[in-house]
Amino acid sequence: MRRSAISKTVLSLTALFAGAAAALAGPTSAAQAAPTAGCTTDAKLVPSCGVLWGAAAGGFTTAPRDKALQDWEKLSGRTASIFHTYHKGDEPFPTKSEMAMARDKARPRVLLMNWKIAYGSSWAKVAKGEQDARIDKFAARVKASFPEKFFLVLNHEPENDVKARKGSGWEAKDFAAMYRHTIQRLRAQGVDNAINVMAYMGNEKWMAQSWWKDLYPGDDVVDWMGLDSYVSAEKGAYHHGTFSHLLDRKAKNGPTFYDWAATQHASKPLMIAEWGVYHRVGKRADKTAGFNSVLPELAKRPQIKAIVYFDTAKDDQGDRDISINSTPANLTAFRTLAANPLFNVTIS
């Protein structure tokens, strides 16, 4: 990052990622140094060193998510320590296939499950207790069948769903109330293995809204800060840039998202819960600069403890290719990133 309240130490980037001395220096912290061995996760799944590596694959296709991720892992060359899945309403989850992925002894993974709990309802109604049966059913399923720790996101990217109209049930304050009610009820039901992630879009448009600050539900119910953000590989395109650009978006005269999270919520680790480099479908562009920029940025930003790639050949609008293998050169660059020892973290 260009500016940060986090204290910095000058360290060679080569030493950071390969353990050898070099002349190229940049700011970093010991927590971001590439591990040689022994990096593990704590009670809140925060790595003692290194960065957790994760992915969601097969988005907006009919492919089973577990098979899509396994194929993606083979393509990228690394097992995803975090397996990102998506659910809504009364869908029963974690599913059997998700549980199996989390329990794969050869390739252990942590589930990152997004739940749109207000599906068919509203945030305000959930906060008032009108979906308590839905919450209790999920709690019972977890307690009966899934004792493993998992990441839980409630309604990722809520900015995009806000209806800033009094009484709409979808105001920013309704989201915060929904989030608090759900987490508190899950805890009351005995769910103590959920690690809660507040996942923002971090888009300039939404950060400029007067209601944006009202979304935050409180430090007592949030374990990790999260960000979903993407960059375009096409020069001159909207949000063209590298990894720093997806972290540094801001409202006019405001802090960047990373600086805001790292200062206002300094006690919370930051997960890039969705990220990707894209080009328009049928307009292949070189993504290598975007992939090559990740390690230097992580070296500068010690708050980031996990990054989770969202891979799809077509997004929900059908016009963005976020896949890692849209060209051979793009895949080579991504495989080089994935192979870095910074991501050698043992789930414990």
Question: Per-residue pLDDT tens for 10-61?
Answer: 333 333 333 333 333 333 333 455 554 689 999 999 999 999 999 999 989 8
The residue whose two tokens read 């039901």 is: 189
pLDDT at 289: 98
How sure is the predictor about 2, in pLDDT bands with cuts at 50, 70 and 90? very low
Question: Per-residue pLDDT tens for 258-275?
Answer: 999 999 999 999 999 999
pLDDT at 344: 97
- The proportion of the chain whose per-residue pLDDT surpasses 90, expressed as a percent, equals 86
Helical segments of the chain, H only = 13-18, 65-76, 96-102, 123-127, 132-145, 172-188, 204-207, 243-247, 257-264, 288-292, 294-300, 328-338
pLDDT at 127: 98
pLDDT at 5: 37
Pairing of strands 25-28, 9-12: antiparallel
Question: Per-residue pLDDT tens for 172-226?
Answer: 999 999 999 999 999 999 999 999 999 999 999 999 999 999 999 999 999 999 9
pLDDT at 38: 87
- Residue 98, both tokens: 């998700």
- The proportion of the chain whose per-residue pLDDT surpasses 70, expressed as a percent, equals 89
Give CA–CA dist 84/112, Å, rounded: 5
Assign a CATH topology to domain 44-343: TIM Barrel (3.20.20)
**Do 207 and 251 touch, CB atoms closer than 8 A?**
yes
Tell me how long the chain is: 348
The domain limits of the chain are 44-343
Nearest-5° Cα angle at 172, 188 to 269: 60
**Do 241 and 273 touch, CB atoms closer than 8 A?**
no
- Least confident range from 4-13, 234-243, 268-277, 280-289: namely 4-13
Rounded mean pLDDT of the chain? Answer: 91
For helices 65-76 and 328-338, angle between their N-to-C axes, nearest 10 degrees: 90
Question: Per-residue pLDDT tens for 288-324?
Answer: 999 999 999 999 999 999 999 999 999 888 899 999 9
Give the DSSP H/E element, type plus range, for residue 197.
strand 194-200
pLDDT at 35: 52
Question: Per-residue pLDDT tens for 65-78?
Answer: 999 999 999 999 99
Question: Per-residue pLDDT tens for 99-143?
Answer: 999 999 999 999 999 999 999 999 999 999 999 999 999 999 999
How sure is the predictor about 9, in pLDDT bands with cuts at 50, 70 and 90? very low
pLDDT at 317: 87
- Mean pLDDT confidence for 150-172: 98
Q: Whose CA is closest to 197, among 323, 339, 31, 82?
A: 82
225 conformational bin, left if phi > 0, alpha if psi -120 to 50, beta if neither: beta
